[in-house]
Structure 1
Amino acid sequence: MSLPPLPAIMLEPLVRTALLEDLGRAGDLTSGAVVAKDHHVTTVLRARQAGTVAGLDLAMLAFRLIDPGVEMVVHRADGSEVAPGEIIASVSGPARAMLTAERTALNFLCHLSGIATATASVVTAVRGHRAKIVCTRKTTPGLRAVEKYAVRAGGGSNHRFGLDDAILIKDNHIAIAGGIHPAIERARSSIGHLVKIEVEVDTLGQLEEALALAPDAVLLDNMSLDELRRAVVMVAGRAITEASGRITPTTAPAVAATGVDLISIGWLTHSAPILDVGLDYPEH
């Protein structure tokens, strides 16, 4: 099934802000001076390394906000795997507009494709296990929606989008509230029937205490593999189990083998390296 796109109304403010940052106070001095106004070209967005594509809609918006006459033909849609040298899309139109928007388009495309590629690497690593790979709120300010979209493009799933769509009681909440029991009870008394409660636990003793209050999910933070296995047995399907804590593609298979439902990874959005993509001309 194809990946549902984000609405353009969500993307346009992000792209406009990025373009305005680049255009500054005087516009693109170089392209305006060097390239004839009526010169048209066809270029290609080409992958320079293997990976998973994400962010084409933002790249397209970058070009079209500079000049609506720019056209893009997509050859490898978001969520597609690409090989080095493979053409992702063809871009045709006024050369000035293409050059003006080039860096903004590539910044979004490379960054989001990097997130999708990193996600796909972990999703592949845990294939054959039940665990889903999910992201966190450790996102670039202002880019959360598109970074979480890129995680989906890589085959992952999303954790909560913000503080307002679920309750996650973490260690500091527990400490300030005076314990797991009062924290969960206060949370439950204050929410509507559609809001889920997840509680973070560091030990099996905390898990046992939390399970007595029937949370919807438990976050098993920085537990050993043995502790994760024992935690899954203790939960016995009564809550969703989520493992977290510096998990990599190398360590993810062993974590998934413990039987947890979710593996949450912050670095997918805050530290994934870009996927190198270039805007190439026919003679290059």
Structure 2
Amino acid sequence: MTGAHTAGPTEQPAPPPPTPPQRPRRSLAWRIGTPVVGVLSGALFVVSAADSGGTDLRPGRYTDLAGLVEAEAADYEEVRQDLEDLEDDVDSLTEEVSDDQVDRTRERGEELLDPAGLEPRSGPGVTITLSDSPDENLDEAVAHDIKVAQLVVHQQDVQAVVNALWAGGASAVTIAGQRVISTTGIKCEGPVVQLQGVPYPQPYVIQAVGDPAALTAAIDADPLVTGYRTDAANPYIEIGWDMETEDHVEAPAYDGLLDLSYAEPIG
């Protein structure tokens, strides 16, 4: 008996490797539209920059110094008016109080109003005007190794003039028409000078009530003011300086905020 022949296992061919998925092709509109959008966006930036002229196109933003000064001065005036109203209320209530000690204190306070600068003063005096150097002097100043800071009026320049006027016997001093008192702070903030927190742009007009001859002599003798006037005479600097004697100067009473502080001894 012939036995059945058993065949061995047949080898199967290996399956072909999987075809990698192809990245979807962008449409023609997408490929053309993308650079077009980029070009249009750039054009919009250029147009916006040209229209703005270097300023902010959004409303409500300050784009000039005069607007900033005016707004801050208006805010200060509103606060000052509120204070004045409160002081009037206090005065009215105080007058209703009948007490010897209160009356004596009130009389003493009235005696100190004038020395404190809370009463107006007028009489002969001087007017001094400080201002920055002309813009066209900048290139010449740099070419002659002159510091740019010498072309600008600083708070120390204003303070030096005020101190010299006090030394010359001034009975009242004003800056930009504002009465200067013992608590007045003169602070430089960028291109403006602040008095009691209110900004004032240059030119800075300083007036003093007093003997014109004595005030002029004090100005001439002050070394800091002399240094400023030397720069004013330098043709490459020409920082603004003008001084005139006056037959009549008006110095209004100080009507700003009174921020008083004092120290007490320990023990």
TM-score for both structures, normalised by structure 2? 0.24
Which has the greater radius of gyration?
2
Give the number of the structure with larger relative contact order, counting CA–CA contacts within 8 Å between residues 6 or more apart. 2
